[in-house]
Structure 1
Amino acid sequence: MPFGATVLDAGVRFSYWAPDAPHIALELGTEKPIVMKRKPHGWHRLDVAQARAGDRYRFCLPDGTRVPDPASRRNPDDVHGASEVVDPRSYAWHDDPWRGRPWTEAIIYELHIGTFTPEGTFAAARKHLIDLAALGITVVEIMPVAASPGHRGWGYDGVLQFAPDASYGTPDDLKAFVNAAHDLGLMVLLDVVYNHFGPEGNYLHAGSPHFFNAAHQTPWGSAINYDGEQARTVRDFFVHNALFWVEEYRFDGLRMDAIHAIRDDSRPDIVEEICSALRNGPGRERHVHIVLENDANGARYLARDAAGKPLAATAQWNDDLHHAAHVLVTGDTDGYYADYADNPLGHFGRALAEGFVFQGQASAFRSGELRGEPSTHLPSNAFVSFLQTHDQVGNRAFGDRIDALADPALLRAAYACLLLSPHVPMLFMGEEYAASTPFLYFCDFGHELAAAVSAGRRAEFGKFAAFADEAARARIPDPNATSTFEASKLNWQERLHGPHRDFLAFISELLAIRRRMVVPHLATQRGGGQHWCEGDILRLDWSLNGARLRMLANFGKKPATGVQPILGQTIYATGLVPSGHNETLRLAPGAVCVTLQEMNHG
């Protein structure tokens, strides 16, 4: 890796890219700063024979500003402090036989390290991996861990992209987490943010202004420079970051946050280049998966080759399915849910059958803007689908989880449809036992920025009728308060008692059926499926590898009678009784039937 501090056989090489700076100095420990050697293409480098792993260092800019290493592997004293030299070869891995798992086996569990356990550390989270494996999870997806300001935050304000946040533990603690997951047969994905740096602690503007391109403006200011002057080194920084997490930490892939917010007019763009680097690098020796978040519903990154293998990304988060399901089971039509209010059942069915709901049509919520690309040609496992995520819970004023808002019978029906579909399902931490704890928006910025964030969040909710008056907005938890963070921590004891234990058993049953009956048929699915709506009845049909998967569900508030059954072996059914009339069925509200028909057996 050309960036940062590299431990050599004798000493350490320090590198800093600053093409406009006449000189950069290295401050190593308490020693007097030493001017580094200026190299071609804007690099400043210095080999220090006496330097060792564990040493603290900073870079001194021409104006005297002392900054951490943008490629720091560890910043023990938060993002404004000195960086620490780390020897990546010091950790003793014991997962060498691990080659990952095929994507068809993916069942994802998204978690936030800081709130997953009371301790909020990598080491504490590691102890619960056995619970996730027992549940039937095969992929753990960690929200961003790149160092960000303060001691608590979602992770999307990271400024040191190579340094695991010190509040969670050491680099070796994170490696031990990944190692333990692999020992249990779990893949681990890391959420990374390549569309912006956080607003506090980003010193690249001062040291390397070419990291940003004023020709592209974003909600965070000038965009990261992926296509302007000197862009090659900036692109290399992020390509190496992607490789760093997959090679040095042995992650099984990445989830790339909000790629729709990346500004890059070059071809291949940075998303395609990162996908290529991962597939042609570590992906040649083991399974490496790349999941995208893309609000634009772009299908081009999800293309498959003739054998059905991804050419770029493996899959993409499917917000459309979430939004349609949310309207269907809660009746909520505020904000972006308005786009799904006209026909939530039909939209939910289309999302399950075809992937995207919006495949090029106008969005009323976006003032008539055309949104999306056709997705019917893609296999269902090109979509990561869910009923909850950190966004969809945390972006609510009080961090409400869906079970606190939804009709219970309809919610269970939605879970059955999701978890037994050919989509890659994802659960958000605590969802498996209907956790009562909220997941709120929290952060830990400096005083002035903290006040602006708190005021801005309350003003944002002022657009909703429920928060039209100031008193209502004042009840919204302050993102910077420690209590907001503490309230978001899971209560692991809940899963052992009452309705939480029952819901956990329900989810466990669905995942066991999925693993046993559905997963073996997912390998060669080419396109999507079909759906039909008959009043409040939803029918779905997918052609899989040697089988047809069919679903029948009643999302009405009343029983449905005279319903024609579906063909195949029943692998899951609830709320169905024969009606006694021409072998039709009576479906209670929330009733679901799922069948599998082996095509070689008629």
Structure 2
Amino acid sequence: MEERAVMRWGPEPLVDGGTRFRLWAPDADGVTLEIDGAAAAAMEETGDGWYAIDRAKGPGARYRFRIAGQSVPDPASRMQSGGVHGWSVVPEHAFEWQHQNWMGHLFHELVILECHAGALGGFSGLIERLPAIAAAGITAIELMPVGAFGGTRGWGYDGVLPYAVQEDYGSPTELRRLVDAAHGHGLSVFLDVVYNHFGPDGNYLGVYAADFFDAEVHTPWGGAVAVERAPVARFFIDNAMMWLRDYRIDGLRFDAVHAIRNPDFLDAMAAEIRAALPDRPVHLVLENEENDAARLRDGAFDAQWNDDFHNVMHVLLTGETSAYYADFADHPAERLARCLAEGFIYQGEGSINHDGTPRGSKSAHLPPTRFVSFLQNHDQVGNRALGERLIALTDAAKLRAATALLLLCPQVPLLFMGEEDGSETPFLFFTDFHDALADAVREGRRKEFAKFDAFADPEARARIPDPNARATFDASVPQPGQDAAAWRTLYRDLLTLRRERIVPHLAGATAVGAQAIGAAAVVARWRLGDGTTLGLAIDLGDQPATLPGGADPFFTEGERFTAWIEP
């Protein structure tokens, strides 16, 4: 059997309608293929730990690998039957795209809505919501991870089969329908991908490929992946390419890349993606706690989620200063001013939550559109013990002003599903683990919050919802709030202004400067691409003062926010 120089993971369609099956199993003494009830067939060892076999089986065929008496799914399975412990399925690649000429949005045109597909009724349920999302002025949806994970519900960050679509959300074909429908409504589609670890339920790689993981490095969620090894790097790069090419996803958000600890891999992945897909806008966004500005230069990655913006705004809106908010507790207005003018707040300074070690690098040279800002997302809501949204933690006037800052600021805004409807529904941490693993997750979750004053007492911690209970998931399905109409109007008006007054001039925008003008008040200005100056002023103090501004503001929110454009 002739093999290509670069080995690929997963089933490969052959020209005669059959399929080539491959597996990297360097620790195995032999691998056999089980397929559609036929007798197991020995796979050929092709070198460097790879095994392969061709069979006259096409889409729909169910298969798995047998190693040392144990049957395991294909780690690069495109589709599963019976969950992550079940059968892998050869996928159907044919799909009749209705919007093949879709070219997407430029990055600075984006307003992103983060969505959990399961909580919104799966891929088909989300399709039904697309008209309302587009009508609000949102230009992109971002799906939390859809790769297969253990159980029937979860956030997706404990995935173990990252090529396969979670069965409970829908089939690969239904995901393609969602992407196609979104494009028909003028919406780009982003996907959150996790390349830093695997979940605990259904991860069989360690059985036959221990070198997939780096024994010397650990993440808070499990063993780190060894991306310096060629088969491991290929596993993740090809996964990114699959979503962008086969599903026509417009952009990827790479989860917690600081846990990968290999920036060379990140740069190589970005370069390969850019080279392979030069004919349409493809957006690559990082989540990176290290605030590494070097990853944002030269267009390798479009932007980074800016947690600094969220954290300082949360302090100003709620007064909370515990846990990671301690890094933003002192002089929050000055910190917000730096964020608006320069991007990162932490640019090499010592951080309380990092034991005083320096965090971040200089970012003032980067354009504002290199940063994705948000007031809420799955992490910042769901990692609260009771999953409260900001609407339950601050007063409406402050939140409306903060929303205006988010949506009129040149940084690219991201919303969390339900925000645009004024949802008061919590978003809780939910899983579907069982037995000892369920107990460990439940107790670990409660232990995690023991350091917070509100949950120091064991009885208080017992009120934290059980992540494994079905009721915890059900309680997280977003419902419109009691003032939904008013919030929808606010978002629609602000996004109309953003689209008409700001977005056409964002290319080439640079910060002029920002200053704190009170304990919770900031004024900031940016020179737009057409030479005009955008000014924003906000005051989140309990007693707002008179805000500065231009002679003719184009938007105001009571005494707390004003926006203007100067010639």
TM-score class normalised by the smaller sequence: over 0.9
Residues 198 and 223 of structure 2 are in contact (CA less than 8 Å); yes or no, is this contact kept in structure 1?
A: no
Letter of the aligned partner of 1:20 in structure 2?
A: D
Whole-angstrom distance in 2 between the partners of 1:220 and 1:400: 23
Q: Which residue of 2 aligns with 1:430?
A: 418
Pairing 1:345–2:340 present: no
Q: 1:552 aligns with which of 534, 537, 548?
A: 537
Structure 1 position 569, deviation (Å): 4.4
Say which SS state the counterpart of residue 168 (structure 1) adopts.
coil
Structure 1 position 102, deviation (Å): 0.5
Q: 1:528 aligns with which of 497, 503, 511?
A: 511
Whole-angstrom distance in 1 between the partners of 2:522 and 2:10: 55
Pairing 1:596–2:565 present: yes
Pairing 1:397–2:385 present: yes
Q: Which residue of 2 aligns with 1:73?
A: 78
Pairing 1:414–2:421 present: no
Tell me how many residue pairs correspond in the alignment.
558
Residues 400 and 557 of structure 2 are in contact (CA less than 8 Å); yes or no, is this contact kept in structure 1?
A: no
Structure 1 position 17, deviation (Å): 1.1
Whole-angstrom distance in 2 between the partners of 1:223 and 1:103: 31
Structure 1 position 220, deviation (Å): 4.1
Q: Which residue of 2 aligns with 1:578?
A: none
Pairing 1:572–2:555 present: yes
Q: Which residue of 1 aligns with 2:265?
A: 270
Structure 1 position 570, deviation (Å): 2.1
Letter of the aligned partner of 2:424 in structure 1?
A: S
Whole-angstrom distance in 2 between the partners of 1:553 and 1:169: 43
Residues 114 and 121 of structure 1 are in contact (CA less than 8 Å); yes or no, is this contact kept in structure 2?
A: yes
Residues 318 and 393 of structure 2 are in contact (CA less than 8 Å); yes or no, is this contact kept in structure 1?
A: yes
Deviations 1:228-267 (A, max 9, x none): xxx1111111110000000000000100000011133xxx
Moved over 4 A (4+): none
Whole-angstrom distance in 1 between the partners of 2:518 and 2:12: 64
Structure 1 position 539, deviation (Å): 0.9
Q: Which residue of 2 aligns with 1:125?
A: 126
Letter of the aligned partner of 2:527 in structure 1?
A: S
Residues 333 and 518 of structure 2 are in contact (CA less than 8 Å); yes or no, is this contact kept in structure 1?
A: no
Residues 297 and 372 of structure 1 are in contact (CA less than 8 Å); yes or no, is this contact kept in structure 2?
A: yes
Residues 23 and 52 of structure 2 are in contact (CA less than 8 Å); yes or no, is this contact kept in structure 1?
A: yes
Letter of the aligned partner of 2:534 in structure 1?
A: L
Q: Which residue of 2 aligns with 1:134?
A: 135
Q: Which residue of 1 aligns with 2:3?
A: none
Deviations 1:370-423 (A, max 9, x none): 111111001111000000000000000110000100132222111111110100
Q: TM-score, normalised on structure 1?
A: 0.91
Q: 2:274 aligns with which of 260, 270, 279?
A: 279
Q: Please, which runs of 5 or more residues in structure 1 have no aligned partner?
A: 305-309, 576-587
Residues 336 and 522 of structure 2 are in contact (CA less than 8 Å); yes or no, is this contact kept in structure 1?
A: no
Residues 538 and 555 of structure 1 are in contact (CA less than 8 Å); yes or no, is this contact kept in structure 2?
A: no
Q: 1:503 aligns with which of 487, 499, 520?
A: 487
Structure 1 position 558, deviation (Å): 1.8
Letter of the aligned partner of 2:151 in structure 1?
A: G
Letter of the aligned partner of 2:230 in structure 1?
A: R
Say which SS state the counterpart of residue 156 (structure 2) adopts.
coil
Whole-angstrom distance in 2 between the partners of 1:535 and 1:221: 44
Structure 1 position 216, deviation (Å): 2.3
Q: Please, which runs of 5 or more residues in structure 2 have no aligned partner?
A: 1-6
Deviations 1:27-54 (A, max 9, x none): 00211110011112222111112x1211
Q: 2:302 aligns with which of 314, 319, 328?
A: 314
Whole-angstrom distance in 1 between the partners of 2:551 and 2:20: 65
Residues 5 and 72 of structure 1 are in contact (CA less than 8 Å); yes or no, is this contact kept in structure 2?
A: yes
Letter of the aligned partner of 2:147 in structure 1?
A: A
Whole-angstrom distance in 1 between the partners of 2:125 and 2:268: 35
Residues 181-580 of structure 1 mapped to structure 2, 5 A cutoff: 181-227=182-228, 231-264=229-262, 269-282=264-277, 284-304=278-298, 310=299, 312-491=300-479, 494=480, 498-525=482-509, 527-536=510-519, 537-546=521-530, 547-561=532-546, 565-567=548-550, 569-575=552-558
Letter of the aligned partner of 2:550 in structure 1?
A: L
Provide the aligned C-alpha RMSD in A. Answer: 1.4
Q: TM-score, normalised on structure 2?
A: 0.96
Residues 114 and 141 of structure 2 are in contact (CA less than 8 Å); yes or no, is this contact kept in structure 1?
A: yes
Pair 1:365–1:41, CA change in 2 (3 A) = closer
Say which SS state the counterpart of residue 81 (structure 2) adopts.
coil
Whole-angstrom distance in 1 between the partners of 2:336 and 2:391: 18
Say which SS state the counterpart of residue 445 (structure 1) adopts.
coil
Whole-angstrom distance in 1 between the partners of 2:70 and 2:221: 23
Deviations 1:44-67 (A, max 9, x none): 111112x12111100011x11100
Pairing 1:58–2:41 present: no
Letter of the aligned partner of 2:63 in structure 1?
A: Y
Letter of the aligned partner of 1:18 in structure 2?
A: A
Residues 354 and 529 of structure 1 are in contact (CA less than 8 Å); yes or no, is this contact kept in structure 2?
A: no
Whole-angstrom distance in 2 between the partners of 1:531 and 1:106: 24
Pairing 1:42–2:49 present: yes
Moved more, 531-540 or 243-252: 531-540
Residues 223 and 263 of structure 1 are in contact (CA less than 8 Å); yes or no, is this contact kept in structure 2?
A: no
Residues 378 and 528 of structure 1 are in contact (CA less than 8 Å); yes or no, is this contact kept in structure 2?
A: no
Letter of the aligned partner of 1:277 in structure 2?
A: E
Letter of the aligned partner of 2:539 in structure 1?
A: N
